[in-house]
Structure 1
Amino acid sequence: MRFRLPILALALFAFACGEPAEVTPEEIPGPVLVSASPADGTGGIVESSLPVTFTFDQNIICSQEGQQGVTVDGGAYVSKVSLSGPDLTVVVSGLSRGKHYVVTLPAGTVLGFQKNQKGSEAVTYRFLTKEPDPAPEPGAWESASDAVRNMGAGWNLGNTLDANSGDITHMWIEFNPHPTTADYETAWGQPVTTRALIHMFKEAGFNAIRVPVTWYPHIGTLEVEGGRWNMAKWLESTDYRVDPAWMGRVREVVDYVIDEGMYCILNVHHDTGDHGDEKNGTAWLVADRFDASKERYAALWQQIAETFRDYGEHLLFESYNEMLDSYDSWCFASFESPDRYDATVAAAAYEGINNYADLFAKTVRATGGNNAVRNLVVNTYGACSGAGTWNTHLQEPLTRFDLPEAPGHIAVQVHSYWEADKFDQQKADIDRQFKDLDQNVVQRLGVPVVIGEWGGGVNEDSPAMIRFAGYFSQKAKDAGMAALYWMCLSDGKDRAVPTWTTPGVKDAILKPYL
């Protein structure tokens, strides 16, 4: 018996010296929402995007997964989530007027910095956008004819927001897995556009700038594998959302123009055009394939129209650029051989042009507000400018080209390119073109003409180019037609200064208006 007590003491000693039992500390409460800015339930939002800042009672963490869990209903979407100290800012984009929206932060979206701390409670934030402004009273909005006449001399901000890879087999811009807006804007050799550049044009005497924009790389998701874009899969997708960063940059450039008091024509540009060698081009808007693209086209214009709905009468929308048929035929007058012509395709192409124009006008008008009377621009097939090439093979110039609505707030656009060093030989044709446009569009259809692009084939201050430019500009002014020169007045590095690349041509264009 005398051995039992020491053994028991030894056992107790061994237990006392062992590892202590783990004790789970009590969880610390998670970050608590203090306020939201704008206030929860706010109304009167008129922008297409709204930044909402959620402020918590302490500095917070939000993982990538947590950021992706933030949602909004009503057809809008979360375009950006950012953190700064106790603030979580959520940018909600794609808003429409006259709707309620709910932003939800699920439980655990944000965390604090303390160990064993719970996540935040779920947060629900509601807001209301303002009802669309009523359409201006009849006669209160400038007519298309007055707008075109008041534009004076114009210029194209070309090879900038319209830049793109251009070939589904060589998506070179998209080789960067996350190309920025600047990557696209500078891809064709132009610098990022500045307000100073636009101001230089205004100070010189220009009063209109056309902003060509290519949208397809920024709609939905471009799935590029091995440098090739699966365009067919993209066309089958129903993700029509425009990248909010891209829409924001387009809006910023448009604001440069509007803020200078100039007219701005905003369009859908290289989403049309030819299809490239072996049909590898990226044009998805094809004249005789209206049914394949109509839903995406309508969704695109709805987003553009809603973004710019409250802009005033100096902003015009242009439906599409140089839309061609599936043969890539230019104006049905330049086939490589006569056997390529197909009367059925030609008829479908004209029908498609009319359908696209009609859908464009109806979509924009349906967004209400100023868009109910905004001046719109529709192009002829291929933006062709000669009465003999609008439908040469049909021998019925313009009878197949229909306006999408009654005259008043609609204009027709054509393009006009010449060879300045052959001015003497082409002068009579230039005169005839202006006469035909006046007779077949202004007089016959009752709408004004915008010459959205024109040039003489030479980017230099040669005597021939200056002579041609001065003559063409004078003809446009005398005819009451707006003429916007294509791109080369300030080009490349000169735009970054900014300065003029061809000051002599610039002066010749402006002379009739000064």
Structure 2
Amino acid sequence: MSKKNLFIIATIFATGVLASCGDNDNKDSDNDQNQEQSQTTPDQDSPAQTITLADAKTPFEVRDAMGMGWNLGNQFDAHNNGKSSETAWSQPKATQTTFNKVAAAGIKTVRIPVTWMGHIGNAPDYKIEDAWLNRIYEVVGYAENAGLNAIINIHHDGADSKYWLNIKECAKNADKQAETVAKLSAVWKQIAEKFKDKGHFLIFETMNEIQDGGWGWGENRSDGGKQYAAMNEWLKAIVTTIRSTGGNNANRWLGIPAYNTDIDLSQYLVLPDDPANRLMVSIHYYAPYEYTLESQYSQWGHAAENGKTANYAQETECRTQMKKLLDRYVSKGIPVYIGEMGNVNRLNANDEKYRAYYFEYVTKCIHDNGMSAILWDNGVAKAGRESHGYFNHGTGEWMNSYSEQMIKVLVKAMTNKDADYTLQSVYNSIK
């Protein structure tokens, strides 16, 4: 999540289309009893706390194997003038020390977003530049050495339909669609071949937030499903390509995003046939964005003061949205992970209290519905809009005085198995 056209999102939410899912008077209307009604099935813990992705079979086992995650964001996904670069957006180069310290903080999974544009050759081979692919391989090795799971993907190549992964054009032009399917297949074949012997700690996430620039409210709403169909065809081709490379790719876990990684739009996702039965759905959650991304509000939840929190996406909607994923996927044996979630730095004690509560409640809700979560970190230490720094990307040191507290809260919400630690107890923890 970076450099996004949030004006578009602001316009969308100003219409109030989603407000009907929220709460009245900026408060959560639930009584204490209703906090426990977000699940249709009881939460299930893995039989062994040390379960790995290699052994995980159920969504709950996958959740526990992935644990709480962290994004090495605005790093390998960064790009300028049509070419990605690790330092394009002013980050230091990642090191083994970074990954060691992330692991020591209780993080179990590192998502490494990667933008490939500027490093891909011409048709028909679409050869990836060796130096770029080798650097990604090296950094995945940092995760392996630290005992972490790792996720790599195709990231900003599909941002806003501006670059080569252009969903808007593919939905309109069959030749463009065929060209894109060929390019995606060639790129993923090379990535898969490079990593085929890596263990099952490594997940391939097929792509990121594919959308046409309208963030889920663009032409996809009026084109008769053409964009969804085009994206589903991409996914089918990628899964087939990865599986065909053999080695550990024959049954490696693959992340499959919904359109715009959106919960509601996931209804249009058609999961490809997979003989290995090892697909997991990728969703992002930043609701309410005016609070988590824009910092227009300083508080969140039932204890917030009037006027200081958004009038939607409080506790009720969080539970409602996570239950949709439980019902649509988890209850049917399909793992889900929240590949990005976050809440910008505030750097004052009162506002940070509400940020910690947001993190704990949302993450606990994600956990209790059988899913894992991965925190967005773009390396920005200051407070305010788009400031999501926790670990220094070059050293692994804490970015500011609240970073350690927030990571501890997130890890607790994802891993604490105490019977007395419930969504209700989290709800009651703030007054």
1:416 pairs with 2:291: no
Q: CA deviation at 1:260?
A: 1.5
1:160 pairs with 2:39: no
- CA distance 1:447–1:288, change in 2 (3 Å): farther
Q: CA deviation at 1:506?
A: 1.2
- C-alpha RMSD over aligned residues: 2.5
- CA distance 1:493–1:378, change in 2 (3 Å): closer
Which position in structure 2 is the counterpart of 1:495? 393
- CA distance 1:240–1:493, change in 2 (3 Å): same
Which position in structure 1 is the counterpart of 2:409? 508
Q: CA deviation at 1:343?
A: 2.9
Alignment of 1:157-236 (within 5 A): 157-165=72-80, 170=81, 184-220=85-121
Q: Secondary structure at the match of 2:157?
A: coil
Greater percentage in strand: 1
- CA distance 1:287–1:379, change in 2 (3 Å): farther
1:149 pairs with 2:149: no
Q: Secondary structure at the match of 1:415?
A: strand
Q: CA deviation at 1:202?
A: 0.5
Counterpart Cα distance in 2 of 1:323 and 1:477: 25
What percentage of residue pairs aligned between the two structures are identical? 30
Alignment of 1:468-487 (within 5 A): 468-487=358-377
Q: TM-score, normalised by structure 1?
A: 0.59
Counterpart Cα distance in 2 of 1:247 and 1:260: 20
- Check whether the contact 1:219–1:239 (CA below 8 A) recurs between aligned residues: no
Counterpart Cα distance in 1 of 2:271 and 2:75: 30
Higher relative contact order (CA 8 A, sep 6+): 2
Which position in structure 1 is the counterpart of 2:5? none
Which position in structure 1 is the counterpart of 2:165? 284
Counterpart Cα distance in 1 of 2:220 and 2:195: 41
- CA distance 1:270–1:153, change in 2 (3 Å): same
Alignment of 1:125-136 (within 5 A): none
Which position in structure 2 is the counterpart of 1:404? 272
Q: Secondary structure at the match of 1:273?
A: helix
Q: CA deviation at 1:207?
A: 0.3
Q: TM-score, normalised by structure 2?
A: 0.69
CA deviation vs aligned residue, 1:232-274 (integer Å, no higher than 9, x gap): xx6xx43400011111100000010111121111111011111
CA deviation vs aligned residue, 1:128-184 (integer Å, no higher than 9, x gap): xxxxxxxxxxx975437333331110000000011111xxxx45xx6xxxxxx9xx1
- CA distance 1:242–1:488, change in 2 (3 Å): closer
Which position in structure 1 is the counterpart of 2:214? 329
Counterpart Cα distance in 2 of 1:506 and 1:494: 13
Counterpart Cα distance in 1 of 2:76 and 2:257: 20
Q: CA deviation at 1:435?
A: 0.8
- CA distance 1:382–1:160, change in 2 (3 Å): same
- CA distance 1:288–1:448, change in 2 (3 Å): farther
Counterpart Cα distance in 1 of 2:390 and 2:70: 15
Counterpart Cα distance in 2 of 1:411 and 1:160: 24
CA deviation vs aligned residue, 1:445-470 (integer Å, no higher than 9, x gap): x3111100001244647222111111
- Check whether the contact 1:144–1:410 (CA below 8 A) recurs between aligned residues: no
CA deviation vs aligned residue, 1:322-341 (integer Å, no higher than 9, x gap): 1113xx22223xx5xxxx67
Counterpart Cα distance in 2 of 1:409 and 1:263: 16
Q: Secondary structure at the match of 1:302?
A: helix
The structure whose Rg is larger is 1
Counterpart Cα distance in 1 of 2:411 and 2:318: 19
Q: CA deviation at 1:483?
A: 0.2
Q: Secondary structure at the match of 1:242?
A: coil
CA deviation vs aligned residue, 1:472-500 (integer Å, no higher than 9, x gap): 22122222211000015774993334311
Unmatched runs of 5 consecutive residues or more in structure 1: 1-138, 175-180, 221-233, 276-280, 391-396
Which position in structure 2 is the counterpart of 1:269? 155
